[in-house]
Amino acid sequence: MVARATLHSGTLGGYGSCDTAAERETAMVSYSNNKQDYLARLRRIEGQIRGLQRMVEEDKYCIDVLTQVSAATKALQSFSLSLLEEHLATCVVDAARQGGEQADIKVKEASDAIARLVRS
């Protein structure tokens, strides 16, 4: 953890935990840099979704609604790409350094998440 914080302090700040829910019970870490940025982005997306509800309520033209849906989808994608980059830079890099099975597990897990993103 210390190593990571040092290494990536300039670039990525760091949100989240590299441990799954089960592992984390003992070691709670909250990194505050990117977290506020992530929350702000999600709040903006929530605003876009509420805007969409208003558009539907007011019978706005379908094509205009679709344009807004594309914007919200792009914002979600961009959010997940940032999250993924940070995950690679912290959790996957850490696991690689620890070596052994853990590296393989983290790579497989990240690859599965990437596949879900690419296919959604």
Token couple for 102: 């853990």
Question: Cβ of 50: how many Cβ atoms within 10 Å?
Answer: 10
Give the burial class of 106: count Cβ atoms within 10 A of its Cβ; 0-12 exposed, 13-18 middle, 19 or more buried.
Answer: buried
Q: Considering CB under 8 A, how many residues would be counted as binding a second copy?
A: 77
Minimum CB distance to a second copy, residue 5 (Å): 14
Told to check if 89 binds a second copy by CB under 8 A, we report yes
Chain residues 26-85 in contact with a second copy, contact rule CB under 8 A: 28-31, 35, 38-39, 42-43, 45-46, 49-50, 52-53, 56-57, 59-67, 69-74, 76-77, 79-81, 83-85
Told to check if 86 binds a second copy by CB under 8 A, we report yes
For residues 78 and 15, give the distance between their C-alpha atoms in angstroms, rounded to a whole number.
16
